[in-house]
């Protein structure tokens, strides 16, 4: 496959070495530190994230989308919308018609999903039990109805920009979202199971 994304030789070699979606997740987990934004909010491009070896959720999803694109997948993002919590962004992909996801997260349960989910809703709901705030509330409420194809931003240079690319999350937050709960279900939600709560914090980086 030819390098058609404006990447330099080192960036291309790094991403080409990731042969499968699971390799992308391991790269995010092992080679890219969680970006706690010590100097203020950032929205690093994939090039910046590779160079600085750090990324938060949004930045990690964009880096993963680029890595998946190098593998031949379209660069797709899906937004998970929450209450009393941060949103979470996934880089989603399909294998044999089923959905999977790669993600960077400070919570251990909000990362990789194997491509075994028959619909986006199935994929999204696999995150529900693991999506919570530090008060122990289940916080996932909606997801972007359609994946965002990042190729729409190719002319703006999202893959290799030397400045932050806030236009991507701004666009993603503005697309239509589908609710995951009915009002009655939301009122009946209980608190997190203690063991699952603690498991989700394994490896958490404190701000």
Domains located in the chain, CATH noted: 9-126+135-200 (3.10.620)
Residue 127: predicted pLDDT:
98
Burial letters 43-57, b for 16+ CB under 10 A, else e: bbbbbbbbeeebbbb
Tokens read off for 5: 């994304």
3-state class (DSSP) for residue 45: coil
Q: What is the pLDDT along the chain (207 residues), one digit of tens a residue?
A: 678 899 999 999 999 999 999 999 999 999 999 999 999 999 999 999 999 999 999 999 999 999 999 999 999 999 999 999 999 999 999 999 999 999 999 999 999 999 999 999 999 999 999 999 999 999 999 999 999 999 999 999 999 999 999 999 999 999 999 999 998 999 999 999 999 999 999 999 987
Q: Within 10 Å of residue 200's Cβ, how many Cβ atoms? A: 20
Q: Which helix (H) or strand (E) holds 93?
A: strand 88-95
The Cα 37–Cα 42 span in angstroms is: 7
Q: Within 10 Å of residue 34's Cβ, how many Cβ atoms? A: 20
Residue 32: predicted pLDDT:
98
Q: What angle do CA 68, 24, 29 make, to 5 degrees?
A: 145
**How much is the pTM?**
0.97
Residue 207: predicted pLDDT:
74
Residue 3: predicted pLDDT:
84
């Amino acid at each position: 496959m030819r390098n058609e994304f404006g990447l330099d030789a080192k960036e291309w070699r790094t991403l080409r070495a990731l042969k499968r979606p699971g390799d992308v997740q391991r790269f995010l987990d092992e080679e890219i530190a969680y970006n706690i934004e010590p100097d203020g909010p950032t929205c690093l491009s994939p090039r910046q994230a590779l160079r600085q070896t750090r990324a938060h959720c949004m930045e990690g999803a964009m880096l993963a989308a680029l890595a998946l694109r190098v593998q031949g997948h379209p660069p797709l993002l899906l937004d998970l919308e929450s209450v009393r919590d941060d949103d979470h962004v996934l880089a989603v992909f399909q294998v044999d018609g089923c959905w999977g996801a790669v993600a960077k997260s400070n919570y251990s349960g909000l990362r990789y999903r194997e491509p075994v989910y028959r619909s986006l809703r199935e994929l999204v709901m696999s995150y529900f039990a693991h999506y919570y705030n530090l008060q122990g509330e289940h916080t996932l409420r909606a997801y972007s109805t359609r994946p965002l194809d990042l190729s729409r931003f190719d002319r703006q240079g999202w893959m290799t920009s030397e400045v932050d690319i806030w236009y991507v999350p701004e666009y993603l937050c503005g697309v239509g979202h589908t609710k995951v709960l009915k009002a009655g279900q939301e009122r009946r939600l209980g608190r997190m199971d203690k063991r699952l709560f603690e498991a989700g914090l394994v490896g958490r980086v404190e701000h």
